[in-house]
Chains A and B, each alone.
Chain A
Amino acid sequence: MSPTPGGAGAPRDRLKVLCRRAFSFLLDWMAWGYVAYCAMYLLNYYWYTVHVDWWGTLTLPSWGWPVVILVTLELAVWCRSLGRSLGQRAIGVALRPVAGERIRLGQRVLRGFLWHLSVLLAPVWIARGEEPLHDRLARVGLRTETPDPERPGRRAILTQWGFFALFLGALTMCVGWLIIGINLQVLIRRAPQAGRIWGEMLRPDFRYFTAPDPVFHLRALSYSILDLTVVTVFMALVATVLGGVMAFPLSFLGARNVMGFSPAGWATYGVIRGFFNVFRSIETIIWASIFAIWVGYGTVLAGILALTIHTIAALGKLYSEQVEGVSPGPLEAVWAAGGSRIQVVRHAVIPQVLPSFWAFTLYRWDINVRMATVIALVGGGGIGDMLFYYKNQGDWSKVGAVVMVIVAVVWAMDYISGRLRERIA
């Protein structure tokens, strides 16, 4: 992965080299940035929490951030020149001398200083397949690191890299512990209150299992536990079916092996995959709170829309990955017989992916049932409305009853979908 002197290699390969070098540089910079951030956090913590009686405050002045950025940049540059670079290691390259066996320290220092002169133009040189100025004048170059078969590497933990990784890990744990600030004592101190609640929940009140509970109403109507359980299961079912039906055609548009033949195909692929990734990373509960405002707080519709949207994106992604994983042979055969793209999908792709599509859909139904029991928290409707109503009333026996029904339903759905998936596989 090193730029070969003299401009050899295809333009695309040279661009790839540039991207990899830039990536490796950013990695070094970010690593030092992370260390700096952790250090500042620890300093801050010490200042405000341990030595509270110290004078003055600790705030970074307005010129502080640029300084931190520049200092970490320098650290990254010198690490890279002195041959202790995480980023170079990550992409499997290392600095090598143009002539001779070893790089002298002088060459490394020279490269470090020259870097500042040539950094802005370096991408141009690399993109043209030449060595950037700082490499050329210091008579070194980034070359692919080939492991020496004669000398197998020492156990990773013993090397400097192992210590560095250990250091980063320990730093992360320290800072993480302080950030979360856990206080385990409360678990013990508050045990009696919790014990009372557990006791009540374990004596569930099933009086309103089938009969509507007069104290609980939604829009002037009373419901029983069973009523809302059925509603919840159907919310999940409707959302899974709708989501699956819509994800199905989209998933082919989001698969490289079906779309990647023309610029328009690539564009479609990118848009669809982007849609999947963005919409999937917004959790169902967030969608539910959006739709609760849009179509009405506590309505079943809000819940179904939220579940459906997330199902489309999540199933779409899983489906398209399956499509991309089909064996290409049958596709080739249909193309060769004069088939069109749609025929290829219908007769070569779908027969290969259908069983796993079913398995994913059933699995998703399972997830949706579990999701549907809690989205009421943000106005998505379903059995959760009842659960949170009783919780707010402090009526823990009824909470216990609802929780038990939820457990039974989720367990049953899990079992059914698991058995069906077994049958398909």
Chain B
Amino acid sequence: MPTPYLVIDGLTKVYERGQVHALRGLSFSIEKGEFLVVIGLSGSGKSTLLRCINRLIEPTEGKIWLDGTDVARLSAKRMRRVRRRIGMIFQQFNLVDRATTVRNVLTGRLGYMPGWRSLLGLFSSQDKRTALANLERVGLRDKAYARVDELSGGQRQRVGIARALMQKPEILLADEPVSALDPATSHSIMQYLEQMNRQDGVTVIASLHFLSLARRYGTRIIALKDGQLVFDGPPKTIDNAKFKEIYGEDAEEVEVR
């Protein structure tokens, strides 16, 4: 029996500061090619979960099997090689504002570059071509040499996507990719993620705040509450009762159209 692509086993994270138990023995697994949406209230541990997978945050306990290797045990050096295969996009985009768009996109390539070349900023012409092609793909070819602080929020997130594409990732972590964007722009960004998932076969793990977006784009939804799994299943099976369980009694569902 083939093991699943990503297996999270008993993942626990306790933040030293304030003794916050952000994740409490979380376990689930993902097959290759899934579009997994993580939902949950603010503070339920979504960001912590995503950041543990590529070890931007050190897990306190538990195993993270990615394609048969336990990521949680890797040395810093080996971890860097694994991180190249894991793309990530962020709620606040995490771009260098005063650099050009194409410079920002090229930084997605750093994991593959030898030290001295990256120190001098000597990206190969192959990389530069790929960067422009990826910008073309997200519809920003004409903004390639504009400074990022001249771009709108939606455009910035597309730069973030182009940067992640530079890694040719097998798996993409998206931490609230559309929380800073308006509904229409949110859909356009989610469609790029959907396209990566369908066309390039990238496994996507995205945390989202709106259930409507989660239903529309996810092939599967997990819900966290106080660092524990309270729901795991296909989008259709979240009914009103489940919703109240995840978000609390007083919650109202808001549509994003």
Min CB distance B16 to A, Å, is: 7
- Cα–Cα distance between A120 and B87 once the two chains are bound (Å): 57
Cβ < 8 Å to A, chain B residues 93-123: 93-99, 103, 107-113, 115, 118-119, 121
| CB-CB nearest in chain A for B120 | A346
B110 contact set on A, CB distance < 8 A: 334, 337-339, 343, 347
Contact A340 B121, beta carbon cutoff 8 Å:
no
Q: Which of A338, A346, A355 contacts B111 (CB 8 A)?
A: A338
1/0 per position for A338-371, CB-CB distance to B under 8 A? 1110110011100110010000000000000000
* Interface flag for B80 (CB, 8 Å): yes
Knowing A10-B19, A336-B88, A340-B115 are in contact, say whether A346-B80 is a contact too (CB < 8 A): no
Complex contact A348–B107 (CB within 8 A):
yes
Q: Which residues of chain B are within 8 angstroms of A12 by Cβ–Cβ distance? A: 16
Q: Residue A278 at the B interface, CB < 8 A?
A: no
Q: Is B163 an interface residue (CB 8 A)?
A: yes
Complex CA–CA separation, A423 to B89 (angstroms): 34
CB atoms of B80 and A342 under 8 A apart? no
B90 interfacial by beta-carbon distance below 8 Å = yes
B161: min CB distance to chain A, Å: 12
Q: Please determine whether A333 and B119 come into contact, CB atoms closer than 8 angstroms.
A: no
A66 adjacent to chain B (CB < 8 Å): no
Which residues between 1 and 36 of chain B lie within 8 Å of chain A, taking CB atoms?
A: 16, 19
CA distance A278 to B89 in the complex (A): 42
Are the CB atoms of B96 and A348 closer together than 8 Å?
A: yes
Partner of A337, one of B19, B84, B99: B84
Instruction: Check if A83 is an interface residue, CB within 8 A of chain B.
Output: no
Q: A346-B119, A347-B107 are in contact. Are A337 and B98 (CB under 8 A)?
A: no
User: A330 contacts the other chain (Cβ, under 8 Å)?
Assistant: yes
Asked whether, in the complex, the Cβ of A332 is within 8 Å of the Cβ of B107, the reply is no
A55 to chain B, nearest CB (A): 66
Bound together, the chains give a CA A339 to CA B86 distance in angstroms of 12
Most buried by A among B88, B110, B167: B110
Instruction: Given the known inter-chain contacts A336-B86, A355-B98, please indicate yes or no for A346 contacting B54, CB distance below 8 A.
Output: no
B92 sits at the interface (CB 8 A): yes
Smallest CB–CB gap between B149 and chain A, Å? 12
Q: What are the nearest 9 A-B pairs in CB distance?
A: A338-B111, A329-B94, A338-B83, A338-B84, A333-B94, A336-B88, A339-B110, A338-B80, A351-B96
- Name B's A-contacting residues (CB within 8 A): 16, 19, 54, 56, 80-84, 86-88, 90, 92-99, 103, 107-113, 115, 118-119, 121, 160, 163, 166-167, 173
Besides the contacts A338-B167, A342-B119, what 5 more A-B pairs have beta carbons closer than 8 Å?
Answer: A333-B94, A334-B110, A339-B110, A346-B119, A347-B121
A-B contact pairs, 20 of them (CB 8 A): A10-B19, A12-B16, A329-B92, A330-B95, A332-B56, A333-B94, A336-B83, A336-B86, A336-B173, A337-B108, A337-B163, A338-B111, A339-B80, A339-B107, A340-B80, A342-B119, A347-B118, A348-B107, A351-B103, A352-B97
- A residues engaging B (CB < 8 A)? 10, 12, 329-330, 332-340, 342-343, 346-348, 351-352, 355
